Structure 1
Amino acid sequence: MSTIDIRHAHSLTEERAREAIAEVARKLQERFEVNARWEGDTLHFARSGVDGAIEMLPGAVRVKAELGFLLSAMKGMVESEIQRVLAEKLG
């Protein structure tokens, strides 16, 4: 197992940040059949090979994920893609 832990600062309102994270979750569900659910200010997501959460913090979001064996080999690529999407959606 490999762990990803990324914190991304932003200047969006809480409402706009939540909308952006919800949009990302919708795309994950469509593209990768990820199960996602909100629990307070945290979006939990899971599917075979990955289990994680996107936590909304004041002025930032934190993405934590545990990657299974197969995805662990692509950890660097997965981290880069997460950072790219966060920058695109949250600035």
Structure 2
Amino acid sequence: MAKIDIRRPHGKTVAEARAVVERVADRMREKFGTEGGWEGDTLTFQRSGVKGAIAVSPSDVHVTAELGMLLSPLKGTIEEEIRKKLDEQFA
């Protein structure tokens, strides 16, 4: 399994950062059919072939994911897309 681990600092309050993560999660649900929910300040998500979490702290957003065998070859592309979205939302 390929693993993704990305941290991005932010200058928002935890509530503002959570709202951004929620919007991103809504798009993930629509586009990729992910399921999940909040556990404290961590949004967990999963679907066939991927399981992960987006943790919000007062200083950063931490994205972790494990990709199954079919998605592992796409790790670089997936990481690039995550970084792009984080830059757009938290830069």
TM-score per shorter chain, which class? Answer: over 0.9
Q: How many residues align?
A: 91
The whole-number CA distance in structure 2 between the counterparts of 1:11 and 1:59 is 7
Instruction: Provide the residue aligned with 2:60 in structure 1.
Output: 60
SS in 2 for 1:8: strand
- Consecutive unaligned residues of structure 1, counting only runs of 5 or more, are none
CA contact 2:13–2:58 (8 Å) conserved in 1: no
The whole-number CA distance in structure 2 between the counterparts of 1:77 and 1:70 is 13
Instruction: Provide the residue aligned with 1:49 in structure 2.
Output: 49
The whole-number CA distance in structure 2 between the counterparts of 1:90 and 1:20 is 9
SS in 1 for 2:80: helix
- Consecutive unaligned residues of structure 2, counting only runs of 5 or more, are none
Instruction: Provide the residue aligned with 1:70 in structure 2.
Output: 70
CA drift at 1:53: 0.2
In the superposition, the TM-score normalised over structure 1's length comes to 0.97
CA drift at 1:87: 0.9
**1:71-86 paired onto structure 2 within 5 Å:** 71-86=71-86
CA contact 2:5–2:64 (8 Å) conserved in 1: yes
The percent of aligned pairs where both chains have the same amino acid is 48
CA drift at 1:36: 2.0
